[in-house]
Amino acid sequence: MPAKPGKAYRSYAVSMPLNRGKAMRLRVMLRPWRLGLRRTLLLLEGGLIRGERLPRYVDAKQWEGFSQRQWDSITRQARAMMGSWIELRVIDFRSIVSHSTLDDGMKRELWRINLRHAWWEPVDDEAHRMARRIMKHLRKRHRFPNPMRCRTLSMDGKIAEIQPSAMGGTFPYWARISTLDKGRPIHAPLDIHSDLNPHLDPRDLETLANHLQIRFDEDGGMTVRLMTTQDKAEPRVQGDVVGLDWGLSSLFATSEGRLYGLRLFAWLQQRDEELLALTRDLARSNVGYRDSKRFRRLNKRIRDHVTNEVNRVLNLIADDRVMELVVEDLDFRHGGLSKRLNRIVTRAGRNAVRAKLERLHALKGITITRVNPAYTSQECLRCGWTSPGNRPDQKHFRCECCGYTCNADIVAATNIKARRSRPEDWRWIGRHTILSRLRKEHAQRCPDRSHCPSRRPEYGSPTSAKTKAKTDARVKKTTTS
Protein backbone atom coordinates (compact mmCIF):
# COMPACT_ATOMS: atom_id res chain seq x y z
CA MET A 1 0.00 0.00 0.00
CA PRO A 2 1.41 3.43 -0.87
CA ALA A 3 1.47 4.78 2.68
CA LYS A 4 0.72 8.49 2.62
CA PRO A 5 1.53 10.54 5.70
CA GLY A 6 -1.59 11.66 7.55
CA LYS A 7 -3.55 8.64 6.33
CA ALA A 8 -4.42 5.41 8.13
CA TYR A 9 -5.17 2.16 6.33
CA ARG A 10 -7.16 -0.90 7.15
CA SER A 11 -7.98 -4.11 5.31
CA TYR A 12 -11.19 -6.15 5.12
CA ALA A 13 -11.77 -9.68 3.87
CA VAL A 14 -14.16 -9.95 0.91
CA SER A 15 -15.24 -12.90 -1.25
CA MET A 16 -14.16 -13.14 -4.86
CA PRO A 17 -15.94 -16.11 -6.44
CA LEU A 18 -14.06 -17.09 -9.62
CA ASN A 19 -14.46 -19.88 -12.13
CA ARG A 20 -11.51 -22.24 -12.50
CA GLY A 21 -10.12 -20.60 -15.61
CA LYS A 22 -9.91 -17.15 -14.02
CA ALA A 23 -8.56 -18.52 -10.75
CA MET A 24 -5.86 -20.34 -12.71
CA ARG A 25 -4.85 -17.19 -14.57
CA LEU A 26 -4.35 -15.44 -11.22
CA ARG A 27 -2.51 -18.35 -9.67
CA VAL A 28 0.11 -18.53 -12.43
CA MET A 29 1.10 -14.98 -11.55
CA LEU A 30 2.41 -16.03 -8.13
CA ARG A 31 5.73 -17.49 -9.24
CA PRO A 32 6.89 -14.63 -11.49
CA TRP A 33 5.56 -12.22 -8.85
CA ARG A 34 7.78 -13.87 -6.25
CA LEU A 35 10.77 -13.63 -8.58
CA GLY A 36 9.99 -9.94 -9.02
CA LEU A 37 9.86 -9.49 -5.25
CA ARG A 38 13.18 -11.30 -4.98
CA ARG A 39 14.80 -9.09 -7.57
CA THR A 40 13.67 -5.99 -5.67
CA LEU A 41 14.61 -7.35 -2.25
CA LEU A 42 18.13 -8.27 -3.40
CA LEU A 43 18.55 -4.70 -4.56
CA LEU A 44 17.30 -3.34 -1.23
CA GLU A 45 19.44 -5.75 0.82
CA GLY A 46 22.54 -4.73 -1.12
CA GLY A 47 21.83 -1.08 -0.40
CA LEU A 48 21.25 -1.67 3.30
CA ILE A 49 24.47 -3.63 3.75
CA ARG A 50 26.37 -0.83 2.02
CA GLY A 51 24.95 1.51 4.66
CA GLU A 52 22.31 3.20 2.50
CA ARG A 53 18.85 4.05 3.78
CA LEU A 54 15.81 2.18 2.50
CA PRO A 55 14.81 4.15 -0.63
CA ARG A 56 11.34 5.65 -0.94
CA TYR A 57 10.68 3.81 -4.16
CA VAL A 58 12.57 1.42 -6.41
CA ASP A 59 13.32 2.32 -9.99
CA ALA A 60 12.19 -0.65 -12.09
CA LYS A 61 12.38 0.96 -15.51
CA GLN A 62 13.74 -1.46 -18.14
CA TRP A 63 12.72 -4.42 -15.99
CA GLU A 64 10.88 -7.00 -18.04
CA GLY A 65 8.31 -9.74 -17.53
CA PHE A 66 5.65 -7.43 -16.13
CA SER A 67 4.16 -4.14 -17.22
CA GLN A 68 5.61 -1.02 -15.62
CA ARG A 69 2.41 -0.63 -13.60
CA GLN A 70 2.69 -4.16 -12.29
CA TRP A 71 6.33 -3.54 -11.36
CA ASP A 72 5.18 -0.54 -9.34
CA SER A 73 3.00 -2.79 -7.20
CA ILE A 74 5.68 -5.48 -6.88
CA THR A 75 8.49 -3.13 -5.86
CA ARG A 76 6.20 -1.38 -3.40
CA GLN A 77 5.24 -4.70 -1.82
CA ALA A 78 8.91 -5.73 -1.55
CA ARG A 79 9.76 -2.41 0.04
CA ALA A 80 6.97 -2.87 2.58
CA MET A 81 8.27 -6.37 3.40
CA MET A 82 11.73 -4.96 4.02
CA GLY A 83 10.27 -2.08 6.01
CA SER A 84 8.54 -4.37 8.49
CA TRP A 85 11.63 -6.58 8.73
CA ILE A 86 13.63 -3.50 9.73
CA GLU A 87 11.02 -2.40 12.26
CA LEU A 88 11.20 -5.75 14.04
CA ARG A 89 15.00 -5.77 14.06
CA VAL A 90 15.00 -2.31 15.68
CA ILE A 91 13.06 -3.85 18.57
CA ASP A 92 15.35 -6.92 18.74
CA PHE A 93 18.47 -4.76 18.61
CA ARG A 94 17.20 -2.57 21.44
CA SER A 95 16.35 -5.62 23.49
CA ILE A 96 19.84 -7.11 23.06
CA VAL A 97 21.59 -3.84 23.91
CA SER A 98 19.38 -3.23 26.90
CA HIS A 99 19.97 -6.71 28.33
CA SER A 100 23.72 -6.65 27.66
CA THR A 101 26.50 -5.84 30.09
CA LEU A 102 27.94 -3.11 27.84
CA ASP A 103 28.77 0.14 29.60
CA ASP A 104 26.29 3.00 29.51
CA GLY A 105 28.32 5.12 27.09
CA MET A 106 28.37 2.32 24.52
CA LYS A 107 24.68 1.70 25.08
CA ARG A 108 23.90 5.32 24.33
CA GLU A 109 25.90 5.16 21.07
CA LEU A 110 24.18 1.95 20.00
CA TRP A 111 20.80 3.40 20.94
CA ARG A 112 21.42 6.32 18.58
CA ILE A 113 22.67 4.11 15.75
CA ASN A 114 19.59 1.93 16.14
CA LEU A 115 17.23 4.92 16.02
CA ARG A 116 18.64 5.86 12.61
CA HIS A 117 18.77 2.21 11.39
CA ALA A 118 22.44 3.03 10.72
CA TRP A 119 23.82 -0.39 11.71
CA TRP A 120 25.76 -0.75 8.47
CA GLU A 121 26.82 2.88 8.16
CA PRO A 122 30.41 2.80 6.84
CA VAL A 123 31.95 4.25 9.99
CA ASP A 124 34.82 2.39 11.61
CA ASP A 125 34.50 3.08 15.31
CA GLU A 126 33.86 0.73 18.19
CA ALA A 127 30.11 1.37 18.38
CA HIS A 128 29.54 0.73 14.68
CA ARG A 129 31.61 -2.44 14.80
CA MET A 130 29.50 -3.60 17.72
CA ALA A 131 26.30 -2.66 15.86
CA ARG A 132 27.37 -4.71 12.86
CA ARG A 133 28.16 -7.67 15.12
CA ILE A 134 24.72 -7.50 16.71
CA MET A 135 23.03 -7.30 13.31
CA LYS A 136 25.06 -10.24 12.05
CA HIS A 137 23.81 -12.24 15.00
CA LEU A 138 20.22 -11.09 14.44
CA ARG A 139 20.34 -11.92 10.74
CA LYS A 140 21.25 -15.49 11.57
CA ARG A 141 18.06 -15.82 13.58
CA HIS A 142 15.87 -13.70 11.31
CA ARG A 143 16.90 -13.88 7.68
CA PHE A 144 15.89 -11.11 5.31
CA PRO A 145 12.28 -11.64 4.13
CA ASN A 146 11.98 -14.67 1.88
CA PRO A 147 9.93 -13.74 -1.21
CA MET A 148 9.74 -17.34 -2.38
CA ARG A 149 7.48 -18.10 0.57
CA CYS A 150 5.32 -15.02 0.07
CA ARG A 151 1.75 -15.96 -0.88
CA THR A 152 0.29 -12.51 -1.37
CA LEU A 153 -0.13 -10.34 -4.45
CA SER A 154 -0.59 -6.78 -3.26
CA MET A 155 -2.02 -4.80 -6.18
CA ASP A 156 -2.73 -1.11 -6.32
CA GLY A 157 -5.50 0.51 -8.33
CA LYS A 158 -3.42 0.82 -11.48
CA ILE A 159 -3.49 -2.96 -11.96
CA ALA A 160 -6.53 -3.92 -9.89
CA GLU A 161 -9.22 -1.35 -10.37
CA ILE A 162 -12.15 -1.62 -7.95
CA GLN A 163 -15.42 -0.35 -9.42
CA PRO A 164 -19.06 -0.39 -8.39
CA SER A 165 -21.13 -2.65 -10.57
CA ALA A 166 -22.55 -0.60 -13.44
CA MET A 167 -25.69 -2.65 -13.95
CA GLY A 168 -26.61 -3.52 -10.40
CA GLY A 169 -26.88 -7.29 -10.25
CA THR A 170 -25.76 -9.74 -7.60
CA PHE A 171 -22.34 -8.25 -6.93
CA PRO A 172 -22.00 -4.63 -5.81
CA TYR A 173 -18.32 -4.33 -6.84
CA TRP A 174 -16.00 -5.70 -9.49
CA ALA A 175 -12.22 -5.77 -9.75
CA ARG A 176 -10.48 -5.40 -13.09
CA ILE A 177 -7.18 -7.21 -12.61
CA SER A 178 -4.24 -7.09 -15.04
CA THR A 179 -2.72 -10.50 -15.68
CA LEU A 180 0.35 -11.81 -17.48
CA ASP A 181 -1.57 -11.65 -20.78
CA LYS A 182 -1.32 -8.10 -21.99
CA GLY A 183 -4.69 -6.53 -22.76
CA ARG A 184 -6.64 -9.44 -21.28
CA PRO A 185 -7.58 -8.42 -17.73
CA ILE A 186 -9.78 -10.54 -15.50
CA HIS A 187 -13.11 -9.15 -14.36
CA ALA A 188 -13.71 -10.51 -10.88
CA PRO A 189 -16.91 -10.04 -8.85
CA LEU A 190 -16.52 -8.95 -5.21
CA ASP A 191 -18.90 -9.87 -2.44
CA ILE A 192 -18.63 -7.35 0.40
CA HIS A 193 -19.26 -8.41 4.00
CA SER A 194 -21.10 -6.47 6.68
CA ASP A 195 -17.94 -5.06 8.36
CA LEU A 196 -16.87 -3.18 5.24
CA ASN A 197 -20.37 -2.22 4.07
CA PRO A 198 -20.82 0.99 6.12
CA HIS A 199 -17.55 2.40 4.75
CA LEU A 200 -18.75 2.20 1.16
CA ASP A 201 -20.94 5.22 1.86
CA PRO A 202 -18.90 8.17 0.52
CA ARG A 203 -19.95 10.22 3.57
CA ASP A 204 -18.25 7.74 5.91
CA LEU A 205 -14.86 8.89 7.26
CA GLU A 206 -13.28 5.59 6.26
CA THR A 207 -13.43 5.21 2.49
CA LEU A 208 -12.55 2.49 0.03
CA ALA A 209 -9.01 2.70 -1.33
CA ASN A 210 -8.24 1.36 -4.77
CA HIS A 211 -6.19 -1.60 -3.63
CA LEU A 212 -6.59 -5.37 -3.71
CA GLN A 213 -4.71 -8.09 -1.84
CA ILE A 214 -4.90 -11.68 -3.03
CA ARG A 215 -3.44 -14.41 -0.86
CA PHE A 216 -3.11 -17.99 -2.10
CA ASP A 217 -3.65 -20.14 0.98
CA GLU A 218 -1.69 -23.32 1.64
CA ASP A 219 -4.80 -25.48 1.21
CA GLY A 220 -5.51 -24.21 -2.32
CA GLY A 221 -8.03 -21.53 -1.36
CA MET A 222 -7.76 -17.81 -1.93
CA THR A 223 -8.21 -14.95 0.56
CA VAL A 224 -8.99 -11.54 -0.86
CA ARG A 225 -8.86 -8.25 1.02
CA LEU A 226 -9.84 -4.69 0.17
CA MET A 227 -8.26 -1.67 1.82
CA THR A 228 -9.82 1.47 3.22
CA THR A 229 -8.17 4.74 4.05
CA GLN A 230 -9.01 7.53 6.45
CA ASP A 231 -7.47 10.70 7.84
CA LYS A 232 -5.41 10.31 10.99
CA ALA A 233 -6.86 11.81 14.16
CA GLU A 234 -5.43 14.92 15.80
CA PRO A 235 -3.47 14.03 18.96
CA ARG A 236 -5.62 14.27 22.09
CA VAL A 237 -4.49 17.08 24.36
CA GLN A 238 -6.38 16.16 27.50
CA GLY A 239 -7.35 13.00 29.31
CA ASP A 240 -5.78 10.29 31.43
CA VAL A 241 -2.33 8.75 31.20
CA VAL A 242 -2.60 4.98 31.62
CA GLY A 243 0.29 2.53 32.16
CA LEU A 244 -0.04 -0.97 30.69
CA ASP A 245 1.65 -4.21 31.61
CA TRP A 246 1.15 -7.37 29.59
CA GLY A 247 1.82 -10.56 31.32
CA LEU A 248 0.96 -14.05 32.28
CA SER A 249 -2.09 -14.31 34.50
CA SER A 250 -3.84 -11.33 32.94
CA LEU A 251 -3.30 -10.26 29.34
CA PHE A 252 -3.22 -6.60 30.38
CA ALA A 253 -3.06 -4.83 33.73
CA THR A 254 -3.51 -1.06 33.95
CA SER A 255 -2.09 1.52 36.32
CA GLU A 256 -5.71 2.29 37.22
CA GLY A 257 -5.80 -1.08 38.95
CA ARG A 258 -7.79 -3.06 36.42
CA LEU A 259 -7.05 -6.51 34.99
CA TYR A 260 -8.19 -7.60 31.53
CA GLY A 261 -8.15 -10.83 29.52
CA LEU A 262 -8.03 -13.11 32.54
CA ARG A 263 -9.33 -16.15 30.69
CA LEU A 264 -6.73 -16.13 27.92
CA PHE A 265 -4.08 -18.06 29.81
CA ALA A 266 -6.39 -20.96 30.69
CA TRP A 267 -7.50 -21.08 27.05
CA LEU A 268 -3.87 -21.19 25.90
CA GLN A 269 -3.04 -23.98 28.31
CA GLN A 270 -5.82 -26.09 26.78
CA ARG A 271 -4.49 -25.39 23.27
CA ASP A 272 -1.02 -26.27 24.52
CA GLU A 273 -2.21 -29.75 25.44
CA GLU A 274 -3.80 -30.17 22.00
CA LEU A 275 -0.63 -28.93 20.35
CA LEU A 276 1.49 -31.35 22.33
CA ALA A 277 -0.75 -34.31 21.45
CA LEU A 278 -0.77 -33.28 17.80
CA THR A 279 3.01 -32.87 17.49
CA ARG A 280 3.43 -36.27 19.12
CA ASP A 281 1.04 -37.79 16.55
CA LEU A 282 2.86 -36.11 13.70
CA ALA A 283 6.26 -37.24 14.93
CA ARG A 284 4.99 -40.81 15.20
CA SER A 285 3.62 -40.80 11.65
CA ASN A 286 6.64 -38.91 10.32
CA VAL A 287 4.68 -35.94 8.97
CA GLY A 288 6.34 -32.51 8.89
CA TYR A 289 4.44 -29.74 10.69
CA ARG A 290 4.19 -27.61 7.59
CA ASP A 291 2.54 -30.44 5.68
CA SER A 292 -0.08 -31.01 8.34
CA LYS A 293 -3.41 -29.31 7.75
CA ARG A 294 -4.41 -29.90 11.38
CA PHE A 295 -1.24 -28.26 12.65
CA ARG A 296 -1.72 -25.22 10.43
CA ARG A 297 -5.34 -24.92 11.47
CA LEU A 298 -4.53 -25.09 15.19
CA ASN A 299 -1.69 -22.64 14.72
CA LYS A 300 -3.98 -20.19 12.94
CA ARG A 301 -6.70 -20.64 15.55
CA ILE A 302 -4.26 -19.70 18.33
CA ARG A 303 -2.90 -16.70 16.44
CA ASP A 304 -6.39 -15.44 15.60
CA HIS A 305 -7.56 -15.84 19.18
CA VAL A 306 -4.57 -13.96 20.62
CA THR A 307 -5.00 -11.19 18.05
CA ASN A 308 -8.73 -10.89 18.75
CA GLU A 309 -8.15 -10.78 22.50
CA VAL A 310 -5.48 -8.09 22.17
CA ASN A 311 -7.78 -5.98 19.99
CA ARG A 312 -10.83 -6.51 22.18
CA VAL A 313 -9.01 -5.66 25.40
CA LEU A 314 -7.13 -2.65 24.03
CA ASN A 315 -10.43 -1.29 22.69
CA LEU A 316 -11.87 -1.53 26.21
CA ILE A 317 -8.84 0.15 27.79
CA ALA A 318 -8.41 2.94 25.23
CA ASP A 319 -11.77 4.60 25.78
CA ASP A 320 -12.61 8.28 25.34
CA ARG A 321 -10.95 9.35 28.57
CA VAL A 322 -7.47 8.15 27.62
CA MET A 323 -4.94 10.61 26.22
CA GLU A 324 -1.76 8.58 26.51
CA LEU A 325 -0.81 4.92 26.91
CA VAL A 326 2.55 4.06 28.46
CA VAL A 327 3.85 0.62 27.49
CA GLU A 328 7.01 -1.36 27.92
CA ASP A 329 9.58 -1.17 25.22
CA LEU A 330 10.60 -4.79 25.04
CA ASP A 331 9.11 -8.16 24.37
CA PHE A 332 5.79 -9.78 24.83
CA ARG A 333 6.50 -13.06 26.58
CA HIS A 334 4.35 -15.69 28.18
CA GLY A 335 6.13 -17.98 30.61
CA GLY A 336 4.61 -21.27 31.70
CA LEU A 337 3.74 -22.50 28.21
CA SER A 338 5.56 -24.98 26.01
CA LYS A 339 8.38 -23.57 23.91
CA ARG A 340 6.46 -24.06 20.69
CA LEU A 341 3.28 -22.36 21.89
CA ASN A 342 5.30 -19.62 23.54
CA ARG A 343 6.80 -18.82 20.16
CA ILE A 344 3.41 -18.69 18.45
CA VAL A 345 1.90 -16.54 21.20
CA THR A 346 4.90 -14.21 21.44
CA ARG A 347 4.96 -13.56 17.74
CA ALA A 348 1.20 -13.17 17.36
CA GLY A 349 0.90 -11.10 20.53
CA ARG A 350 3.75 -8.80 19.69
CA ASN A 351 2.46 -8.14 16.18
CA ALA A 352 -1.11 -7.64 17.36
CA VAL A 353 -0.14 -5.22 20.13
CA ARG A 354 2.12 -3.24 17.83
CA ALA A 355 -0.51 -2.98 15.09
CA LYS A 356 -3.30 -2.13 17.51
CA LEU A 357 -1.31 0.59 19.29
CA GLU A 358 -0.44 2.08 15.91
CA ARG A 359 -4.13 2.16 15.00
CA LEU A 360 -5.12 3.70 18.34
CA HIS A 361 -2.56 6.41 17.69
CA ALA A 362 -3.64 6.98 14.09
CA LEU A 363 -7.41 6.79 14.50
CA LYS A 364 -8.00 7.99 18.06
CA GLY A 365 -5.05 10.35 18.49
CA ILE A 366 -3.80 8.52 21.59
CA THR A 367 -0.11 9.09 22.30
CA ILE A 368 1.89 5.89 22.74
CA THR A 369 4.92 6.24 25.00
CA ARG A 370 7.46 3.44 25.33
CA VAL A 371 9.60 3.04 28.43
CA ASN A 372 12.34 0.73 29.69
CA PRO A 373 10.57 -1.85 31.88
CA ALA A 374 13.63 -2.98 33.86
CA TYR A 375 12.61 -3.78 37.46
CA THR A 376 9.08 -2.40 37.03
CA SER A 377 7.71 -5.65 38.43
CA GLN A 378 9.95 -5.53 41.51
CA GLU A 379 9.74 -1.88 42.56
CA CYS A 380 7.56 -1.09 45.58
CA LEU A 381 4.91 1.56 44.89
CA ARG A 382 5.00 2.87 48.44
CA CYS A 383 8.66 2.93 49.51
CA GLY A 384 10.56 2.21 46.29
CA TRP A 385 12.39 -0.86 47.62
CA THR A 386 13.31 -2.95 44.57
CA SER A 387 14.12 -6.63 44.89
CA PRO A 388 13.10 -10.02 43.49
CA GLY A 389 12.20 -10.82 47.11
CA ASN A 390 9.17 -8.54 46.70
CA ARG A 391 7.64 -11.20 44.46
CA PRO A 392 6.72 -14.27 46.51
CA ASP A 393 5.15 -15.66 43.30
CA GLN A 394 3.97 -14.67 39.81
CA LYS A 395 0.70 -13.17 40.98
CA HIS A 396 1.53 -11.34 44.18
CA PHE A 397 3.62 -8.40 45.29
CA ARG A 398 4.69 -8.06 48.90
CA CYS A 399 7.33 -5.48 49.80
CA GLU A 400 10.15 -6.88 51.93
CA CYS A 401 10.75 -3.46 53.41
CA CYS A 402 7.40 -1.78 54.12
CA GLY A 403 5.02 -4.73 53.77
CA TYR A 404 2.93 -3.15 50.99
CA THR A 405 0.89 -5.80 49.12
CA CYS A 406 -0.85 -5.65 45.74
CA ASN A 407 -1.47 -7.61 42.55
CA ALA A 408 1.94 -7.92 40.86
CA ASP A 409 0.73 -6.97 37.37
CA ILE A 410 -0.92 -3.80 38.63
CA VAL A 411 2.30 -2.83 40.42
CA ALA A 412 4.17 -3.30 37.13
CA ALA A 413 1.62 -1.23 35.15
CA THR A 414 1.80 1.58 37.71
CA ASN A 415 5.61 1.60 37.61
CA ILE A 416 5.56 1.59 33.81
CA LYS A 417 3.38 4.69 33.91
CA ALA A 418 5.78 6.36 36.39
CA ARG A 419 8.76 5.67 34.11
CA ARG A 420 7.51 8.20 31.55
CA SER A 421 8.56 11.00 33.91
CA ARG A 422 12.11 9.67 34.26
CA PRO A 423 14.95 11.42 32.41
CA GLU A 424 15.43 10.30 28.83
CA ASP A 425 18.59 8.30 29.56
CA TRP A 426 16.45 5.78 31.47
CA ARG A 427 15.46 4.36 28.11
CA TRP A 428 18.93 3.04 27.34
CA ILE A 429 20.90 2.81 30.60
CA GLY A 430 21.53 -0.73 31.76
CA ARG A 431 19.59 -2.72 34.31
CA HIS A 432 22.35 -2.38 36.89
CA THR A 433 22.41 1.40 36.66
CA ILE A 434 18.63 1.47 37.02
CA LEU A 435 18.78 -0.80 40.06
CA SER A 436 21.46 1.28 41.74
CA ARG A 437 19.47 4.49 41.12
CA LEU A 438 16.31 2.91 42.52
CA ARG A 439 18.21 1.69 45.59
CA LYS A 440 19.65 5.15 46.16
CA GLU A 441 16.18 6.69 46.00
CA HIS A 442 14.85 4.11 48.40
CA ALA A 443 17.60 4.87 50.91
CA GLN A 444 16.32 8.46 51.04
CA ARG A 445 12.69 7.60 51.67
CA CYS A 446 12.96 4.29 53.55
CA PRO A 447 10.43 4.33 56.42
CA ASP A 448 12.57 2.37 58.86
CA ARG A 449 16.29 2.37 58.19
CA SER A 450 17.11 -0.05 61.00
CA HIS A 451 14.95 -2.85 59.58
CA CYS A 452 15.46 -2.07 55.91
CA PRO A 453 16.37 -5.21 53.91
CA SER A 454 19.11 -3.17 52.23
CA ARG A 455 21.09 -3.68 55.45
CA ARG A 456 21.07 -7.43 54.98
CA PRO A 457 24.45 -8.71 53.86
CA GLU A 458 23.07 -10.35 50.69
CA TYR A 459 22.02 -6.98 49.27
CA GLY A 460 25.10 -4.94 50.19
CA SER A 461 25.79 -2.14 47.76
CA PRO A 462 23.96 -2.79 44.49
CA THR A 463 26.96 -1.83 42.40
CA SER A 464 29.45 -4.27 43.93
CA ALA A 465 30.33 -7.07 41.55
CA LYS A 466 29.45 -9.82 43.99
CA THR A 467 25.94 -8.49 44.60
CA LYS A 468 25.51 -7.91 40.91
CA ALA A 469 26.14 -11.57 40.20
CA LYS A 470 23.84 -12.60 43.01
CA THR A 471 21.05 -10.25 41.94
CA ASP A 472 21.43 -11.47 38.37
CA ALA A 473 20.98 -15.05 39.49
CA ARG A 474 17.88 -14.15 41.47
CA VAL A 475 16.47 -12.05 38.65
CA LYS A 476 16.91 -14.97 36.29
CA LYS A 477 14.85 -17.13 38.61
CA THR A 478 11.81 -14.90 38.33
CA THR A 479 10.46 -15.15 34.81
CA THR A 480 9.20 -11.58 34.56
CA SER A 481 11.49 -8.59 34.31
Task: Give the whole-angstrom CA distance, residue 191 versus residue 165.
Answer: 11
Between residues 72 and 409, which has the closer beta carbon with respect to Zn ion? Answer: 409
Q: What angle do CA 475, 347, 107 make, to 5 degrees?
A: 50
CB of 450 to Zn ion, least distance (A): 15
Stretch that binds Zn ion, among 41-49, 63-71, 166-174, 381-389 (CB under 5 A): 381-389
For position 446 contacting Zn ion by CB under 5 A, the verdict is no
Strand positions, DSSP E, 30-151: none
CB of 387 to Zn ion, least distance (A): 10
Minimum CB–partner distance for residue 383 and Zn ion (Å): 3
Could you give phi then psi for residue 122, rounded to 5 degrees? -75, 70
- Which residue type, as a one-letter code, is found at position 196? L
Chain positions 135 to 154 lying near Zn ion, rule: CB under 5 A, are none
d(CA 21, CA 38): 27
Q: From the CB of 246, what's the least distance to Zn ion, in Å?
A: 24
- Work out whether strand 405-407 and strand 396-398 pair parallel, antiparallel, or are unpaired: antiparallel
Minimum CB separation of residue 393 from Zn ion in Å reads 17
Residue 155 vs 380, nearer CB to Zn ion: 380
Of 105 and 403, which CB lies nearer to Zn ion in the complex structure?
A: 403
Q: Which of 25, 382, 422, 427 binds Zn ion (CB under 5 A)?
A: 382
| Nearest CB to Zn ion, comparing residues 162 and 410 | 410
Q: What are phi and psi of 438, to 5 degrees?
A: -65, -40
Rounded to whole angstroms, how far apart are CA atoms 76 and 33?
A: 12
CB nearer Zn ion, residue 58 or residue 413:
413
Region 387-406 residues binding Zn ion, contact defined as CB under 5 A: 399, 401-402, 404
Q: Which residues within the stretch 286-325 sit at the binding site for Zn ion (CB under 5 A)?
A: none
Burial readout 204-220 (b: 16 or more C-beta within 10 A, e: otherwise): eebebbbbbbbbbeeee
* 48, 153, 380, 452: which one binds Zn ion (CB under 5 A): 380
Per the DSSP assignment, residues forming a β-bridge with 149 are none
Of 293 and 451, the one with the shorter C-beta distance to Zn ion is 451
Q: Lay out the sheet containing 240-246: strands in order across.
A: 259-260, 252-254, 240-246, 322-328, 367-371
DSSP string, 233-258: PPPP-SSEEEEEEE-SSSSEEETTS-
Least spacing, CB of residue 442 vs Zn ion, in Å:
8
Interface residue with Zn ion among 385, 397, 428, 459 (CB under 5 A) is 385
Rule CB under 5 A: is residue 411 a binding residue for Zn ion? no
Q: Please report whether residue 438 would count as binding Zn ion according to CB under 5 A.
A: no
- Rounded Cα gap, residues 240 and 245, in angstroms: 16
Rounded to 5°, angle at Cα 357 from 354 and 362? 125
Is position 452 an interface residue for Zn ion (rule: CB under 5 A)? no
CB of 379 to Zn ion, least distance (A): 9
Min separation Cβ 394 and Zn ion, Å: 19
Return residues touching Zn ion (CB under 5 A). Answer: 380, 382-383, 385, 399, 401-402, 404
